[in-house]
């Protein structure tokens, strides 16, 4: 009888854990690894420490200001996203330049202003080639700056702990909608 009670209690516990996991959409998001600590310079010339992102859900993209094609479109999409998350004070948007040699804070700030940035929620960053390489190539797998300038047209979603939870095309409205849904799921886990 005692074994039967223990077995029943164990099964109930497993069922309860399964129900909670199934009802939380954030648990279904993949985890692509953690973003390491970094320091960069924002578009207003201030030191930026990645600790400022701790506790926030954030969307990252990699751009450069003299990009002839994708970057203006991606930045326009980020501007649109900034309007959609304006009331979500725990969400940040982070645009990182993959051309740190040209994209000085002043140049980056001029570019940001053309697209409605920078704002309290939307940060434009530049840094050393080594830092940008570490983030774009080694961490996010979305670009490189050493020997060449290249970047993905994807947005990346990062949770409040600094874990990369998704990649989304900046070109498709379906991907943008899915990303916003995942942002909401991650925000809901904090409540």
pLDDT in tens, 138-155: 999 987 777 677 788 999
Which one is predicted more confidently, 108 or 16?
108
CATH topology of domain 31-188: Glutaredoxin (3.40.30)
Distances (CA, A) of 118 to 94, 124, 151: 10, 7, 21
Confidence at residue 145, expressed as pLDDT on a 0 to 100 scale = 73
Close Cβ partners of 104 (under 8 Å, ≥ 6 residues apart): 126
Task: Please indicate, yes or no, whether the overall pTM of this predicted structure exceeds 0.75.
Answer: yes
Helix (H) or strand (E) holding 94: strand 91-97
pLDDT at 94: 98
Q: What is the mean pLDDT of residues 37-46?
A: 98
* Range 78-96 average pLDDT: 96
Average confidence (pLDDT) over 22-49: 92
Q: How confident is the model at residue 136 (pLDDT cuts 50, 70, 90)?
A: very high
Q: Write down the mean pLDDT value for the chain.
A: 88
Return the domain boundaries, the chain: 1-28, 31-188
């Amino acid at each position: 009888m005692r074994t039967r009670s223990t077995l029943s209690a164990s099964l109930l516990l497993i069922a309860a854990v399964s129900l909670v996991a199934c009802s939380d959409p954030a648990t279904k998001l993949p985890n692509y690894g953690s973003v390491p600590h970094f320091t960069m310079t924002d578009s207003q010339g201030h030191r930026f420490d990645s600790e400022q992102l701790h506790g926030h859900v954030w969307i990252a993209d990699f751009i450069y200001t003299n990009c002839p094609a994708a970057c203006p479109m991606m930045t326009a999409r980020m501007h649109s996203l900034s309007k959609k998350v304006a009331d979500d004070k725990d969400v940040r948007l982070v645009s990182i330049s993959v051309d740190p040699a040209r994209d000085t804070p002043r140049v980056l700030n001029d570019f940001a202003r053309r697209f409605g940035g920078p704002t309290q929620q939307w940060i434009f960053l530049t840094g050393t080639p080594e830092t940008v390489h570490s983030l774009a190539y080694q961490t996010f797998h979305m670009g490189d700056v050493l020997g060449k300038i290249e970047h993905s047209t994807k947005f990346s979603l990062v949770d409040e702990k600094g874990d990369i939870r998704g990649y989304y095309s900046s070109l498709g409205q379906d991907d943008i909608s899915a990303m916003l849904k995942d942002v909401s799921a991650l925000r809901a886990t904090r409540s």
